[in-house]
Amino acid sequence: MKKKIIAGVLCLLCVYADQTNLDMLLGSLQQAEDLSKKTIQESAGYVITYTREDLDRMHIKSLKEILERLPFIRYNEDANGLTDLFYEPFQPTKYGQIKLYIDDKETSDAIFGNSLQAFSEMDISFIDHIEIYLGAVSFTLGTEPSITIIKLYTKDPARENSAMIDIGGGSRGKKDFIYLNGRDLGDMKYLFYVNHRDNRRKKIKFHSTELSRDKKFNSMYFLLYKDKLRYELFVSRIDIKPFTAGAINLEPKLAHISTRNFFTGLRYDDPENGWHNYLYFTYSNNWAYERGNGILGVLPQNRFLYLKPYKSHDFKATSTVTEVDIKKKFQITKNWSLLTGITGKAKHFEFLKNRFDNIDFSHLPYNQENLVAGYIESSYLLNNNNVVILDLKKDKYFENGPVDDYDQIFFRTGYIYNSPTIVTKFFLGKTDLKPSPKQLLESLNSNKLKKQTYTAFAWELQKKDKKQKFSILYTWMQIENLIIRDIDTFKLINDTNNLIYNTLDIRYCYKFDLDNKMEIEGFIVKPNRQTNPSSRNLYGAHIMSYNKWKNFNFFNSLVYRRWTKDQGSGFDYSFTVNYRLSDKLSFYFKGLNIFGSAIKTNYYGYDMVKSQIIKLSDVDVIDREFLVGMEYQF
């Protein structure tokens, strides 16, 4: 079985403008109408930013539209019809490689590690702008290491100071209702958001079975500011028709997933004195039921040694995460600053039900993971144009039951030269990624999984002026002990081969004027054929244009991917037009994957009667659909 091409990029330091003050050089910019200029952590890595203006003109309806445009990967979905950017048949989900944050809060799940799968098709109208940090990013962004971090920054209530209703519909009866209210009350400000979405996906016919990927979302977000304190509350319920689900023959007779998520927390920010602290609590409740059209799957003994077939699976689990983070920044000298911090996480998960026909596997000896982490980031400004950075971080994971504890080390060092028109950066780093609790659960009574290690070097050159910006990014990355599934035994193991990838990304942006701009990007991912001889080079490109004419805003996008031999190639042309009838009322129309030619995915199962692999070919993971709606502000 050929291994999945995993694209990873080690982050570099990015700096805008020539600043003489170290804080400003590292991204602590002044107040601006564009909130991304205040939140962007330039010292944290190679950053792609979608501003508020970009998102409004694109009229983004879900994070999925952004994920499709990420360099070095392709958008993909797993057998449940959920987002999995590194999906490969029979292989484990790589939960730790991409993490999703709402502001500083990781949308985590104690069992699976992150909730990008569930969140990617939700509405994000309460989000002001998006920042995507590619590579082994700085720990200033999160407490646990990752290869890519996506940060969704919520809207500023003072900037909104109004209410908005968005009502829309689309292909196959899709429905959307959004209400958002942000107010500045002087001594405090708040943001309140609710959404109901009935997301109807294209049905797929396989033999006599109609497979559904429909999802229903109900979500609420509340944000309250008071002086230096910030309180957050997020609640969501998602009901999912999970495509082929766990059916070994790809034909479930009945399948349903329901997940409920809740997080609340308090944050304290005092930038003048260098303090950034938070306390969060997350609760998740997941339920799934599957019944096969005949045999659903095979029951594991000693974790994936075949024993007997089963026809149904009933699963229910709850999990909690309590996390605290204390950061303090010290200005040692005019040119030297230190960021230090300590993080703690307590994760608990419980299987209330895990029944295969009449056999229950809910009572497992492993149900808890605790983390303590300490870190330090040293930044030194050599002169007005040169800065060096050194990061160190140590994670200690305390596992219960028969699972051994894990240690993780993160290290990086970087140098950057910055001038008004040219920026060049060099970066070298190494980070560990331990197995997720789900992978550890799957490996109980089996072999111990080692932590994965990512080592990378990157170089970037930027050239810019008032109208245009050109950048070229080269990275080299080696992955040791990648967790894969052995197809012969169906167990999780560490790959004994070191995987090596060279990547090159070229990006060009030109602003014709304040209302019109164009962006072009192309990349290549080149695997080491000695460790992965069946692989081929991966290519991708996109071109986007933003245009305005009178009361019309236009957005055009063309995304191309040439991927593995099994996945083939494809292009996605999408179009959005917004018409503003008045200051309060506007209308929009979107066409996604208009020609139905976006890259597709193949899914594989097993026919136990004929003892052979079966294939569900050329499934659209990006649906061809059209959306129309109206937005009213008051």
Summarize pLDDT for 208-220 with one digit per residue, the tens.
Answer: 899 999 999 999 9
Of 91-105, 182-196, 332-346, the poorest mean pLDDT is in: 91-105
Asked whether residue 1 is assigned to any structural domain, the reply reads no
CA–CA separation, 462 and 505 (whole Å)? 12
pLDDT recorded at residue 510: 96
Average pLDDT over residues 283-311: 76
Asked whether residue 14 is assigned to any structural domain, the reply reads no
Asked whether residue 194 is assigned to any structural domain, the reply reads yes
Of 29-33, 553-557, 562-566, the poorest mean pLDDT is in: 29-33
Asked whether residue 3 is assigned to any structural domain, the reply reads no
pLDDT in tens, 150-206: 889 999 999 999 999 999 999 999 999 999 999 999 889 999 999 999 999 999 999
468 Cβ neighbours under 8 A, 6+ residues apart: 508, 509, 510, 511
Percent of the chain at pLDDT exceeding 90: 61
pLDDT recorded at residue 385: 87
The CATH number assigned to the domain holding 143 equals 2.40.170.20
**Res. 121: pLDDT tops 80:** yes
**Sequence-separated contacts (24+) of 401-408 with Cβ below 8 Å:** 401/364, 401/365, 401/366, 401/367, 401/368, 401/444, 402/365, 402/366, 402/444, 402/445, 403/366, 403/440, 403/444, 404/448, 406/434, 406/435, 406/451, 407/432, 408/145, 408/432, 408/433, 408/434, 408/451
Radius of gyration of the chain (CA): 24
CA–CA separation, 133 and 473 (whole Å)? 14
pLDDT recorded at residue 45: 60
Which structural domain, as residue segments, surrounds residue 316?
Answer: 22-633
Which of residues 325 and 566 earns the better pLDDT score?
325
Residue 4's pLDDT band (boundaries 50, 70, 90)? very low
pLDDT in tens, 43-64: 556 778 898 889 999 999 899 9
**Res. 399: pLDDT tops 50:** yes
Of 3-7, 133-137, 323-327, the poorest mean pLDDT is in: 3-7
Closest CA to 317 of 364, 265, 352, 368: 352
Looking at the 3D structure of the chain, how many domains does it have?
Answer: 1
CA–CA separation, 302 and 358 (whole Å)? 18
Q: How many CB atoms lie within 10 A of CB 185?
A: 12
Asked whether residue 74 is assigned to any structural domain, the reply reads yes
Q: Which amino acid is at 107?
A: T
CA–CA separation, 379 and 586 (whole Å)? 47
pLDDT in tens, 354-393: 998 888 888 888 999 999 999 998 989 998 889 998 989 9
pTM comes to 0.88
Which of residues 171 and 307 earns the better pLDDT score?
171
Which of residues 566 and 113 earns the better pLDDT score?
566
Of 4-8, 110-114, 292-296, the poorest mean pLDDT is in: 4-8
Average confidence score pLDDT of the chain: 86
Asked whether residue 355 is assigned to any structural domain, the reply reads yes
188 Cβ neighbours under 8 A, 6+ residues apart: 224, 225, 226
pLDDT recorded at residue 352: 92
pLDDT recorded at residue 22: 40
In three-state secondary structure terms, 513 is coil
Asked whether residue 508 is assigned to any structural domain, the reply reads yes
Asked whether residue 2 is assigned to any structural domain, the reply reads no
Closest CA to 461 of 470, 452, 453, 450: 470
